[in-house]
Amino acid sequence: MPNADFAIIGGSSTFSVSFPEDIGDDNISIISKDEVYPTPFGDSPPMTLFEIAGKAPKKVITCRMHGWMGDRTRADSSRQIFSVFKEFGVKKVLAEGGVGSIKKSMKPGGIFIPNDYIDFSVRKDVSITNDYLLVMREPVCPVISKSMSSIVKSRDRYTLFETGVYAVTDGRHFESCAEVRALGILGADAIGQSFVPEVYLAREIGACYCGLYLIVNYAEGVVPEWDYHKFKGLFYSEPKNISSILLDTVKSLNADEEKCSCRQLRIETLLKK
Ligand SMILES: [Zn+2]
């Protein structure tokens, strides 16, 4: 199995492009494209391995989160993907996706980098092993988040919300007005259908995790009717920009530098047989 320090999981905000080729970054060379790897949970979705040239070249494994595609469940897809990441020795995982905003001030078109979450999903099969107690005190890597935030700011294109709470629901449908109201009262800032189990699995394999989420609409009931045309427009207009933010974030990071406590929040379980 090859090796990669970094992983990028694509979601709805890069869905309409072929990543990373479409970004047109001359520093990138593809090592393998759409490779399927066997895992204890079945064959992985197609995954691409590439290298970013530089003083210290960086290898990145990337794939789309395939649980929405109908050919496998989210739980299986996540476990397949993170089993491969584990084998590759991935140390830092970046993800992206779209979210609905619960706050009027968080307008569609902005970017949200949550630092916490509330898990309302009912997915239970979300671990690879039972070896660790996963402490979720600081679920998002503060080092990646800081770097990603400064790159978003440098683009001068997005209103950035650099902290906040991501409420995770199961989907595929969106939430009702009453559900959105309830999630807002509970402290959530935006709603989406990713973030978990990825954040659990990243911690389990000893990797840092940070997600970048494009605000694509208002959650139901926040405004009388959210704008489908804006939602659709963002789906096609932003992928290259979002992708280049992710790539620049990887370029800015040092895989071996441990200025965060992400790895210490994974503790060997006491529940050993
Ligand atoms: Zn970290």
Q: 234 C-alpha to center of ligand 1: Å?
A: 30
SS3 category, 205: coil
Query: Which H or E run includes 134?
Result: strand 132-134
Give CATH for domain 6-268: 3.40.50.1580
- Confirm whether pTM is higher than 0.85: yes
Give me the residue spans of the domains in the chain. 6-268
Q: 73 C-alpha to center of ligand 1: Å?
A: 28
166 pLDDT above the threshold of 60: yes
69 pLDDT above the threshold of 70: no
pLDDT value of residue 273: 66
CA–CA distances in Å: residue 234 to residues 15, 25, 111, 155, 231: 11, 22, 12, 16, 5
Q: 198 C-alpha to center of ligand 1: Å?
A: 14
Asked whether the CA dihedral 270, 89, 262, 195 is positive or negative, the reply is negative
Q: 267 C-alpha to center of ligand 1: Å?
A: 15
The token pair that represents 53 in the structure block? 């040239």
Name the pLDDT band for 74 (thresholds 50, 70, 90).
Answer: confident
pLDDT in tens, 168-218: 998 778 999 999 999 999 999 999 998 999 999 999 999 999 999 999 999
pLDDT in tens, 105-150: 999 999 999 999 999 987 766 889 989 999 999 999 999 999 999 9
Rounded to 5°, the CA angle 226-232-233 comes to 105
Tell me 89's DSSP state. T
Q: 92 C-alpha to center of ligand 1: Å?
A: 7
pLDDT in tens, 214-239: 999 999 999 998 889 888 888 888 89
Residues with CB under 5 A from ligand 1 (ion): 141, 208, 260, 262
